């Protein structure tokens, strides 16, 4: 089924749970990557070996679907999940006032996010978490940061892309010097 078709009763259950947008996604539009990632997530949830096909129609509109279209060449898309695999630290821009809170921008499917969350909970570190896919405030903050993956963890005036316990502890103790070792 292409992204521009109307769902029919013959659709698989995964397609019924994830309505298909009615407008085609143009290349270069910010929702282009989002559409690929969401479609990949939806398909992966229902069938581990599902493929995503991408093609361009005669008007230049890009389409995605779980089956190749008839009469049109398509490419199989292999989406990459944007998860930071090794941490990096950056200073926060002026739009984010540094404070002592720990804030994490995450996604439900992110394994590194789950590891960071467990770490905070096990050590009783207070934190605020925003899921960038389900929270409007989370999406806004994530966009302001110009982030390209999850998790993004704000600690004082620093931004940690990804998660590593030692790097987090170093940042955390700069803004929480009276906190004991976790």
> Across the strands, what pairs with 104?
129, 153
Cβ neighbours around 73 below 10 Å, total: 8
DSSP string, 139-154: HHHHHHHT--SB-EEE
Within 90-164, residue ranges assigned H as helices are 111-122, 136-145
- Tokens (6 digits) for 109: 């499917």
pLDDT of amino acid 131:
95
Return d(Cα 81, Cα 91) in angstroms, integer. Answer: 25
pLDDT of amino acid 175:
81
pLDDT of amino acid 38:
53
Spans of the chain, pLDDT less than 70: 1-50, 79-83, 85-86, 90-100, 179-182
pLDDT of amino acid 128:
93
Residues 6+ apart with CB under 8 A from 102: 120, 125, 126, 127, 128, 153, 154, 155, 172
> Across the strands, what pairs with 105?
130, 152
Q: What is the CATH number of domain 88-175?
A: 3.40.30.10
CA distances (Å), origin 61, targets 8, 28, 132: 22, 11, 27
pLDDT of amino acid 7:
43
pLDDT of amino acid 18:
46
Contact 21, 85 (CB under 8 A): no
The residues spanned by each domain of the chain are: 13-77, 88-175
Cβ neighbours around 126 below 10 Å, total: 9
Percent of the chain exceeding pLDDT 90 equals 35
Return d(Cα 26, Cα 62) in angstroms, integer. Answer: 6
Backbone angles phi, psi at 28, to 5 degrees: 90, -15
- Tokens (6 digits) for 111: 């394994």
- Rg of the chain in Å (alpha carbons): 20
pLDDT of amino acid 172:
92
């Amino acid at each position: 089924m292409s992204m521009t078709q109307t769902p029919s009763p013959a659709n698989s259950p995964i397609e019924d749970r994830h309505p298909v947008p009615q407008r085609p996604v143009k290349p270069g539009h910010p929702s282009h990557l989002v559409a690929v990632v969401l479609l990949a997530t939806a398909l992966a949830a229902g069938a581990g070996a599902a493929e995503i096909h991408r093609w361009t129609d005669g008007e230049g509109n890009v389409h995605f679907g779980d089956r190749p279209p008839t009469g049109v060449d398509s490419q199989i898309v292999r989406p990459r999940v944007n998860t930071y695999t090794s941490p990096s630290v950056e200073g926060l821009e002026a739009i984010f006032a540094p404070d002592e809170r720990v804030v994490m921008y995450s996604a439900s499917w992110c394994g590194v996010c789950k590891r960071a969350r467990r770490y905070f909970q096990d050590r009783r570190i207070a934190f605020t978490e925003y899921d960038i896919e389900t929270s409007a405030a989370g999406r806004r903050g994530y966009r302001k940061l110009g982030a390209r993956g999850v998790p993004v963890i704000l600690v004082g005036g620093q931004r940690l892309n990804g998660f590593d316990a030692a790097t987090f502890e170093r940042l955390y103790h700069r803004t929480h010097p009276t906190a004991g070792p976790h």
